[in-house]
Amino acid sequence: MQNTLSVHKKLPLALFALSLLALSLWAPACGVTPPTVTEEAKTEPVNKTEKTSEPIAEPKPEPAPEPKAEPKAEPKPEPTPEPKAEPKPEPTPEPAPEPTVDASEPLPEGACKPGESQACYTGPNNTEGVGICKQGLQTCQPDRTWGNCEGETLPGAKEICGNKLDDNCDGKTDAEDMGACTCNPGQTQPCYSGPQGTAGTGVCKEGTQTCDSNSTWGACQGEVLPGAKEICGNKLDDNCDGKTDTADAAVCECDPQKTRPCYTGPQGTKNVGACKEGTQTCKADGKWDVCKSDVTPQNETCDGIDEDCDGNVDNVASGQNLCSTGKRCLGGKCVCDATSCPTGCCNASGNCVAAATNSQCGANGVACVNCGQGRVCSGGKCVCNATSCPNGCCDANGQCQTGKSNTACGTGGIACKACPSGQGCDPSSQVCGCGPNTCSTGCCNSLGKCVSSTTQACGVSGKACQACDAKLANVCTNGQCQCGSGPSCKVGQRCNGSKCVCDSTSCPSGCCDGTTCISTPIAAKCGTSGSACTTCDATKADTCTNGNCRCGTSAACTGAAKCVNGKCDCGDPTFSQIKINNTAYAGTAIKVAPGSQVALSLAYSLSRPCSGSCTVQLAIGNATTGYGGESFGCAYSGIPNKCPSSTSGSGNFTFTAPRSPGVYDIRWKQDLLPACVDSTNRFDALDNGGSLSVLAKIQVTQPTCGSLTNSVYNVSINGGGKEATVAPGSTVTVKASYNVARLPSCPACFIEIAAGLVGGANPLGVGCFFIGGGGVCPNPRRGSKTLSFTAPTVKGTYYFRWGAYLEFSCRDALKKLTANPPKRPNTFGVLIVK
C-alpha cells in the first residue's frame, strides 16, 4: 500500500503471549483457569503501520484492510487478551497490576517502544495527499502496541460543489467532477423553453437560469413564451408567429370595439313600419358580436303600430282578432262595446262579461253593475225576488229587507207588508200577528192571541203556549213547566209535592234505579211495578223477564249449574264399566256380525241431575258419519221438578247392528229436556254426531265367502265418503260394493239388491246394485256398481237404505222398497240436500 508503513507480523503474537502470561499470574488467585492457546490464536495478524524511524515502503499490490479494524484471522481467546477487555468475574477481585516493561529487555518481534510515534493513514489507496486527504500520527502504548491514528483527513462521502476543494480526493474539484456537480452554485446561463424559431419573434424572448446550491440548474426566469392565441387590437404579435392583430386573419376578424350597422330581418322589411337596423360591435377576441338593437317583424298587436312591417297598421287575417274575446281593436286600443259584447256587459277592466252575474250585471255592452245583497241579475237587470231575498221581503224600491220589522214584514222574497195596529212582525215566522214584538211577557195561544203565562198556557217572550203535564210539573215559572223549584220531571217519574219520584205509578212495568225508571229491565237492573232494581247473578241468569232473573227463556240456574248462551250448563257426565256383548271396551272397536243383536252395558256419574224446573236426559245411541243418529234410549231420565237422591247409575241396551260392514261410533248426548223422548228425538235427528263424544266403537265384520249375507259397503257418494251435501235437483252418483247370499232352498228364483232414499214425504227408488238371472239361483258373490240419480228438490236430510228382494226385475224390487222401506240397520249413507 502506498505511503503505508511496513508491518511487523510477529508483534501481535508476542503481545498475545504477554497477555496470557499476565492472565496466568492473576487467574489462580481468582479461581479462574487460564485459557489455552488454540491454533486460531496462533494466526499472525497483519499490522498496517510501521515505525517512523524506518523508511516508507514502496507500494505493494496487497489488499486494503478496513480502517482501524482487526484482521478477520486474528484469534479471539477467552478472556480477551487485551488489557481493556479483561474478564470481570463475580465477586470482583482486586485489579491485577499492569505488567511492567523492562527497557533493557530486547523488543519482541512486532512490538514498539512506549512513547514512540509514527505517521499513519487509513484511507483508500491513491487518496493520501490528494485533495484534502492527509496523514495522521499514532503513538506506541505502554503495552507496546500502536494507538489510534490521530489527525488524519479521509475522503468525504461526496464532492461539495462550489467550495473550491477536492472533497472526495479523486483529483477533481467542484464542476470538474461532472459525476457530482452539474454546475457551480451561482453560475448563470441563457435559457428558452418555447417552440424552436419563436425566441426573439413578437413578444417572445430568452430568460436566465442560475445554478443552485445543489449544483443543479434552476428554473428559466424572465423568458416570454408564445400566448395561447393572438390578442386582437393590442398591436402585439402575442403568439409569436410574425403576424400582428388583424394581419392574423384566422384569429382576428376585426379590431375590438369597432362597430358596423346590421339587420337580421327578412329582405324588404328593413325600415318598414317598426323595423330598423341595429349595431354589431367587435368583441375583445376579434370576432363580431351578434346584431343588437335591430327590430325585426313581430306579430301584430292592437297598438297603432305596424309590427309585422308589411306597411299596414293593426291588420290581421280574416277571422282573427288582435284583442281577447269580447273586445275589438279600435284606434290602436282593444275596447269593449256593444259591437264586441252584445249579450253581456263591460267590467271595470274593460273586459266583456258575456254571462252576467249578480256582481257583474248588464247587457248590450253597458258598464257592469253589482246588484248587491238582496238582488239578483235577471235579463241584464238587478231585481229583488225569492232567489235574491229568500229570508226577507222586497220593498217598493226593489230592495231586499229583513222582513222582521212591523213596517216591512215577510219572507221568501214576497212584497213587504206593514203589520196592522196591535200586531207585530214575529221574528220567527216573519208574519204579522202574535210574536215576540207584541207579546214579550206572555205566550201566543192557538188563536194567535197573547195570553199571560199559567200552567195551562205556559210560555214567555211570545212563544207558543204549552200546557204543563200535571204528572210531571205543578207550576209555570218564567215560561217553564217545573216541579216545585226544579225542572219538570222526566218520563217514568211523577211530580210529588215539589220533588220528582219513581214509583209503581210512574214506572208500572219497570224498576226504579233511584229516581230513574228502567222501563225495559235487563239482567243488570231487573224488577217490575216500580220496585227497586236488583242485579241478577251473571253466572245464573242473562235476561230479566217480568221482573224475574232468567237464563234465556227458562228460570235462572240453581245449584252448580251456570247460564251459558241462554241455557243452564250441567257439565259432562263420566262413564265406566263399558261392555259390548260382555266384552270390556278398551278403546279398540269390538267386532259384531252384520244385523246381529248387540248388548251394551255401562255405568255413569252425572255432575248435576237437574236444574230447577228442567230435567237432565242422558241419551245413548249410534251416531256415525254416513249412518246418522240412532238412539238406543236414555241411560238416565230425570223427573220434572224432582231431583234424584243419587247422581250415579247404570244402563243396559240391546240394539241391532248395522248390516253394512264398517266401524260405527256409540255416542252419548246430555240434554235439559222434560222427557227422554225429547232427547232421543234430538239424537235421531243428528246427521253424523260429530259434535258428540264417543263412548265406544263397534266393527261390523265382513262375512266369509261361504256364509255371505246380503249387504252394501265401501260406499262413495259423488266420489267422496258415505255422507255428502248436494244442491236440490242435482245429479248424484253412489258407488258401493255388495254381497249376495246363497239361497240353497230356491229351485229357480231371481234376487235383486235394491237401493233407495228415505227421510222425505215419499221414499225414492235409486236403483239396483245387483240384478239376478231368471231360473238360476246365484252362488254367493261380491261385486261393485255405480248408480246415478237426481237428488230430491226438497231440502232436508235423507238416508240411503238397501234391501234384498226375490223379484223378477229391478223395477219390481224398487216398488217393494218404496212401499215398505228397509229398517234402520240397512242404512249405508246420508245425503244432505240444501
Report the alpha-carbon angle 250-256-262, nearest 5: 90
Lowest mean pLDDT among 136-150, 225-239, 750-764: 225-239
- DSSP-assigned letter for residue 48: -
pTM: 0.36
- Rounded Cα distance between 594 and 609, Å, is 36
What is the three-state SS of 797-834?
A: EEEEEEEEECCCCHHHHHHHHHHCCCCHHHEEEEEEEC
- Rounded Cα distance between 71 and 12, Å, is 11
* Burial letters 455-479, b for 16+ CB under 10 A, else e: bebbbbebbebbebeebbbbbbeeb
Q: What is the pLDDT of residue 422?
A: 60
Confidence of residue 582 (pLDDT cuts 50, 70, 90): very high
Q: Is residue 442 a contact partner of residue 449, using CB atoms and an 8 Å limit?
A: no
Q: What is the pLDDT of residue 280?
A: 94
3-state DSSP: the chain helix, strand, coil percent, rounded to 5? Answer: 5, 30, 65
What are the pLDDT digits (tens) for 332-347? 899 998 888 988 899 9
Most confident option among 27-31, 84-88, 544-548, 638-642 = 544-548
Using the predicted structure, report yes or no on whether residue 616 has a pLDDT greater than 90: no
Per DSSP, which regions of 454-586 are E strands?
463-464, 475-477, 480-483, 486-487, 494-496, 499-501, 511-513, 516-518, 531-532, 543-545, 548-551, 554-555, 562-564, 567-569, 574-580, 583-584
Lowest mean pLDDT among 230-234, 265-269, 558-562, 818-822: 558-562
Q: What is the pLDDT of residue 179?
A: 67
The grid coordinates listed for 703 are 262375512
| Greater model confidence, 743 or 230 | 230
- Rounded Cα distance between 82 and 19, Å, is 7
Confidence of residue 560 (pLDDT cuts 50, 70, 90): low
Confidence of residue 747 (pLDDT cuts 50, 70, 90): very low
Per DSSP, which regions of 581-638 are E strands?
583-584, 590-592, 597-605, 610-611, 614-624, 628-637
- Rounded Cα distance between 663 and 657, Å, is 11
What number of H helices and E strands is found in the chain?
A: 3, 52
Using the predicted structure, report yes or no on whether residue 55 has a pLDDT greater than 70: no
Average pLDDT over residues 295-308: 90
Average pLDDT over residues 470-498: 88
**476-478-481-482 Cα dihedral, nearest 10 degrees:** -90
Residues across the chain: 834
* Residue % of the chain over a pLDDT of 70: 80
Q: How far is CA 830 from CA 341, 716, 729, in A?
A: 88, 11, 16
| Greater model confidence, 466 or 745 | 466
Q: What is the pLDDT of residue 293?
A: 92
Average pLDDT over residues 799-814: 90
| Greater model confidence, 138 or 47 | 138
Using the predicted structure, report yes or no on whether residue 660 has a pLDDT greater than 50: yes
Lowest mean pLDDT among 237-251, 253-267, 302-316, 801-815: 237-251
Kindly give, in sequence order, each residue whose CB lies less than 8 Å from that of residue 684, ignoring residues fewer than 6 positions away.
621, 628, 629, 630, 631
| Greater model confidence, 147 or 31 | 147
- DSSP-assigned letter for residue 260: E
Using the predicted structure, report yes or no on whether residue 477 has a pLDDT greater than 90: no
Residue 652's SS3 state is strand
| Greater model confidence, 830 or 251 | 830
- Mean pLDDT for the chain overall: 80
Kindly give, in sequence order, each residue whose CB lies less than 8 Å from that of residue 700, ignoring residues fewer than 6 positions away.
591, 592, 593, 594, 657, 658, 659, 660, 661, 662, 663, 664
Most confident option among 117-126, 680-689, 704-713 = 117-126
What are the pLDDT digits (tens) for 638-655? 776 555 545 788 999 999
Q: What is the pLDDT of residue 83?
A: 44
CA proximity to 568, closest of 633, 521, 613: 613
CA proximity to 81, closest of 140, 41, 139, 141: 41
Using the predicted structure, report yes or no on whether residue 35 has a pLDDT greater than 70: no
Lowest mean pLDDT among 109-118, 313-322, 770-779: 770-779
Confidence of residue 778 (pLDDT cuts 50, 70, 90): low
- Rounded Cα distance between 155 and 123, Å, is 7
- Rounded Cα distance between 233 and 257, Å, is 9
Q: Is residue 462 a contact partner of residue 426, using CB atoms and an 8 Å limit?
A: yes
Catalogue all structural domains in the chain, each as residue range(s) with its CATH number. Answer: 501-568 (no CATH), 573-698 (2.60.40), 709-831 (2.60.40.10)
Q: How far is CA 379 from CA 355, 358, 385, in A?
A: 10, 11, 13
- Rounded Cα distance between 34 and 22, Å, is 10
Q: Is residue 316 a contact partner of residue 307, using CB atoms and an 8 Å limit?
A: no
Using the predicted structure, report yes or no on whether residue 26 has a pLDDT greater than 80: no
The grid coordinates listed for 828 are 249405508
Dihedral over Cα of 8, 9, 12, 18: its sign: negative
Confidence of residue 50 (pLDDT cuts 50, 70, 90): very low
Lowest mean pLDDT among 107-116, 176-185, 713-722: 176-185
What are the pLDDT digits (tens) for 86-133? 444 555 555 555 555 555 666 777 789 998 999 999 989 888 888 889
Using the predicted structure, report yes or no on whether residue 81 has a pLDDT greater than 60: no
Kindly give, in sequence order, each residue whose CB lies less than 8 Å from that of residue 83, ignoring residues fewer than 6 positions away.
19, 98, 143
Q: What is the pLDDT of residue 780?
A: 64
Q: What is the pLDDT of residue 742?
A: 59
Q: Is residue 113 a contact partner of residue 101, using CB atoms and an 8 Å limit?
A: no
Using the predicted structure, report yes or no on whether residue 764 has a pLDDT greater than 90: yes
- How many Cα atoms within 13 Å fall on the side-chain side of residue 644? 16
What are the pLDDT digits (tens) for 486-540? 899 999 889 988 899 999 888 998 999 988 999 888 888 999 998 999 999 888 8
Q: What is the pLDDT of residue 133?
A: 94
Average pLDDT over residues 61-89: 43
Confidence of residue 731 (pLDDT cuts 50, 70, 90): very high
